[in-house]
Amino acid sequence: MFRKDEGNVVVLKLDGLRYSSQYTVFITLPITTQREVIRVEDESLKEAIVIALNKFIKI
């Protein structure tokens, strides 16, 4: 699914200062695809990952 040579970047961010949606997952795609960054914020890291991956798969 993700290969280093394709230029995708996945970031998991844990924001302990927030009281809601503390987890952010975003996936950047190669600049040549001209597609927006996939970004998901959620209370659950697992759910954020699942939602982001589902959005990535639909691309």
Prediction pTM value: 0.79
Confidence of residue 58 (pLDDT cuts 50, 70, 90): confident
pLDDT of amino acid 35: 79
pLDDT of amino acid 1: 59
pLDDT of amino acid 5: 76
| Residue matched to tokens 């998901």 | 40
Number of other residues whose CB lies within 10 A of the CB of residue 40: 19
| Residue matched to tokens 């950047």 | 28
Q: Give the pLDDT confidence of 1-42 residue by residue, as tens digits.
A: 566 677 888 899 998 787 888 999 999 888 767 778 999 999
Domain boundaries along the sequence of the chain: 4-57
* Angle at alpha carbon of residue 41, lines to 28 and 35, rounded to 5°: 25
What are phi and psi for residue 31, nearest 5 degrees? -60, -25
Containing 11, the helix (H) or strand (E) segment is strand 9-14
